[in-house]
Structure 1
Amino acid sequence: MKKNIPPSLIQPGHPDHHLLSSLQVEIIARAGGALTLADDFAAMLRTCIDDVIMTPKTGRRCYEELEKTEKTYIGTRVEIELRALLRLKRGRLDTVILDHDVDIKNTMGSNWMIPTEAVDQVCMLVAADELRARCYLGLVVAKRDYLTAGQNKDAKRSISAEGFQHILWLLCDHPYPANFWRTVDEEVVEQIFASDTGNARIATLFRAIQDRPISRQVVEAVAMQKDFMRRVRSDKGRGARDLLQRDGILLLQGQLHGQLIKMMELPHCSPSEFISCRPTTALQHRMAAQVGFNLPQIAG
């Protein structure tokens, strides 16, 4: 998405203000409030993108590796998921809000392509910037004056530079969960996937990346097996947890070890997240032992 987005002109007195502000209020209410909308919308985008990348099945780890048709499907997936998130029905365009037909447009780039049937109609604009992990949700009445003069072979036009001022933003430059693999050094990624077994790959993952919550989806991608959850458990000395424990590293799950995670002063983990750490004090070793971990004794 463009880095320099102009301030919105959608204020009282603007010809689109009454319509767009009423739709904004309805959308926020349907989402359960502004904070819930921000959280759920951001999480939805991450899921839509990751489910098309399909790292566990394909080995791909980023948006750039997708085929053109798959990139296009992300827009369809976002449309479906957004309707479900806001409990909206299909309409003549993509959906209907307060009896107004609304077209949902998604981009992973810097602009949206507005089809002829959406001209002069309300468009809900969605954007995800994978490199910066920022997302956008806005409303615009796609008037011809807000669109570029040029068009593509399908007669679709983009929002013009001036037209960006007529977008009412519900979320603008808002953070969303980053693609995990973009946050890890390529050298480390190669180390993780160099191992031949799921247990070894999981152990390498949590040995290399400690004190940081890691999602269930990442664990599945690294395990590359249907029973991936088995890889993070103790398993007769062969499981990733067993391998790590012998190295003095704890592998904890938010659902099972929430209290220990808090006592270790680690970052918060959701029930479906995992985190590893290396206890360094006698007190931390005793706390781990109280919940069943048998770590090597520390000197002194």
Structure 2
Amino acid sequence: MKKTLPSSLVTPDHPDHPLLHALADDITRRAGGAATLAEAFPAMLRRCIDDVIMTPKTGRRSYDELEKTEKTYIGTRVEIELRALLRLSRGRLDTVILGHDVDIKNTMGSNWMIPTEAVNHPCLLVAADESRAMCYLGLIVARPDYLTVGQNKDAKKSISANGFAHILWLLCHQPYPANFWRNVPPATVTHIFAGSTGNQRMATLFREITGQPITRDVVEAVAQQQDFMRRIRSDKGRGARDHLAEEGILLLSGHYDAPLIKALHLPACTGSEFISYQPQTQAEADLALRTGAPLCWPPRQSRLDL
């Protein structure tokens, strides 16, 4: 998406203000409020993109590695997931909001392609900026004056430079989760997924990537098993957490171990994130042991036969 966006002209004296604000209010209400929308929408986008990249199965780590057809499918997936998130029905265009036919447009670039059938109709604009980990959600009435003169071979036009000022933003420059694997070295990705069991892959993940919050979705992708959470919990000495503890590595849950995570001055984790850390001093080890966290200190040699 463009780094610099013009201030929205959709103020009370704008001709599209009543319609766009009514649509925006309904979308926000359907999402459960502005705060919930700001949390759920970015997470939904992240899932849509990562489910197509499929790092665990393909070894690919970024959107740029996708085939053209896969990039197109992301737009379809976002449309489906967004309707589900907002509990919207299908319409003559992509959906119907407050009785108005609305087209849903998605881009991973800096603009949207508006089809002829959507001209003069409201459009719900979705954008994800992978390089800056920012996302966008806006509304516009796709009036001809807001579109480019030129068009592609399918007669689709883009929003003009001046047209961007006629977007009402629900979310603008909104941070969203960066692709976890994007900055992980290829050799590390290969090493993690080389494990033949869920415990092996899980232990390698948290052994190789320490001090960094890791989401539940990443854990599930690495485990590749139905009961993936079992690989994180202590499991009578058989789980990844047990084996890492023997090596002097803590595997902590943002839900259960938040006080210890804070006391060790580690990055804050949400309730669905995990973080590993190897204490560097006896004082840190004692702190962990006092909380009941499984930890062997001093650590034994790394276990490879999980």
| TM-score, length of structure 1 as denominator length | 0.88
Q: Is the 8 A contact 1:289 1:295 kept in 2?
A: no
Is residue 251 from structure 1 mapped to residue 267 from structure 2 by the alignment?
A: no
Contact 1:105–1:126 under 8 Å retained in 2: yes
Alignment of 1:131-170 (within 5 A): 131-170=131-170
Q: 2:61 maps to what in 1?
A: 61
What does residue range 100-115 of structure 1 map to in structure 2 within 5 Å? 100-115=100-115
> Structure 1, residues 248-296: CA drift from partner, whole Å, max 9, x if none?
1111233454454344443333343221012234454344335251412
How many residue pairs are counted as aligned between the two chains? Answer: 298
* Compared CA separation, residues 255 and 141, structure 1 to 2 (3 A): same
Give me the whole-angstrom Cα distance separating, in 1, the residues matched to 2:198 and 2:35.
38
Query: For residues 9-60 of structure 1, what are the alpha-carbon distances to aligned partners after superposition, in whole Å with 9 as ceiling and x for unaligned?
Result: 1112111111111211121122122111111111110011111122223332
1:267 aligns with 2:267: yes
For 2:32, the equivalent position in structure 1 comes to: 32
Structure 2 contact 202–219 (Cα < 8 Å) conserved: yes
Partners of 2:128 and 2:5 lie apart in 1 by 14
C-alpha spacing 1:167/1:294, structure 2 compared with 1 (3 Å) = closer
- Find the aligned partners of 1:73 and 1:261 in 2 and give their Cα distance: 39
Q: Quickly say closer, same or farther: Cα 1:230–1:34, change in 2 above 3 A.
A: closer
Larger CA deviation: 93-102 vs 216-225: 216-225
Judge which range, 253-262 or 122-131, deviates more: 253-262
Question: SS in structure 2 opposite 1:150?
Answer: coil
Deviation at 1:67, TM superposition (A): 1.8
Corresponding position of 2:41: 41
The 3 A distance-change label for structure 1 pair 141 and 265 is same
The residue that corresponds to 2:302 in the other structure is none
| Stretch moving more, 259-268 or 62-71 | 259-268
SS of the aligned residue for 1:123 comes to strand
Residue type of the alignment partner of 2:2: K
Gaps of 5+ in 1: none
Matches of 1:142 and 1:210, distance apart in 2? 47
Find the aligned partners of 1:218 and 1:60 in 2 and give their Cα distance.
14
RMSD between aligned residues: 2.4
What is the CA deviation profile of residues 160-197 of structure 1, one whole-angstrom value per residue up to 9, with x for unaligned ones?
11111111111111110000112334554455456666
Q: Does 1:87 align with 2:87?
A: yes
| Local SS of the residue matching 1:20 | helix
Q: Distance in 2 between matches of 1:197 and 1:85?
A: 34
Paired residue secondary structure (2:241): helix
Call closer, same or farther: CA 1:262–1:169 in 2, change over 3 Å: same
Q: CA deviation at 1:238?
A: 6.2
Q: Indicate yes or no: 2:171 matched with 1:182.
A: no
Asked whether the equivalents of residues 245 and 294 of structure 1 are also in contact (C-alpha less than 8 Å), the reply is yes
The 10-residue stretch of structure 1 (11-20 or 238-247) with the greater mean CA deviation from structure 2: 238-247
TM-superposition CA deviations, 1:70-97 (whole Å, max 9, x none): 1111111111111111121211111111
Relative distance call for 1:21 and 1:236 in structure 2 (3 A) is closer
Q: Which amino acid aligns with 1:280?
A: Q
Q: Give me the whole-angstrom Cα distance separating, in 2, the residues matched to 1:223 and 1:89.
A: 35
Task: Give the residue type in structure 2 aligned to 1:31.
Answer: A
Name 2:73's counterpart in structure 1: 73
Query: Given that residues 214 and 275 in structure 1 are in contact (C-alpha distance below 8 angstroms), is that contact kept between their aligned partners in structure 2?
Result: yes
User: What amino acid is the match of 2:275?
Assistant: I
Matched residue SS, 1:44 = helix
Give the SS at the match of 2:132: coil
Query: AA paired with 2:181?
Result: W
2: CA distance, partners of 1:275 / 1:293: 14
- The 3 A distance-change label for structure 1 pair 294 and 146 is closer
After alignment, is 242-251 or 180-189 more displaced? 180-189
Deviates more, 1:265-274 or 1:133-142: 265-274
Could you tell me the TM-score, scaled by structure 2's length? 0.87
Q: CA 1:61–1:226 in structure 2 vs 1: closer, same or farther (change >3 Å)?
A: farther
In the TM superposition, residue 219 of structure 1 has moved relative to its aligned partner by 2.6
For 1:34 and 1:252, how far apart are their aligned partners in 2? Answer: 31
Q: State how far apart, in whole Å, the 1-side matches of 2:4 and 2:270 are.
A: 34
Structure 2 CA distance for aligned equivalents of residues 116 and 37 of structure 1: 29
- Is the Cα contact below 8 Å between 2:59 and 2:190 reproduced in 1? no
Cα distance in structure 1, aligned partners of 2:88 and 2:228: 35
In 2, the alpha carbon distance for the partners of 1:294 and 1:168 equals 52
Query: How many Å separate the matches in 1 of 2:13 and 2:233?
Result: 61
Q: Cα distance, 1:235 vs. partner? A: 6.1
Structure 1 residue aligned with 2:99: 99
How far apart are residue 109 of structure 1 and its match?
A: 1.0
Find the aligned partners of 2:68 and 2:125 in 1 and give their Cα distance: 21
Q: Distance in 2 between matches of 1:288 and 1:197?
A: 28
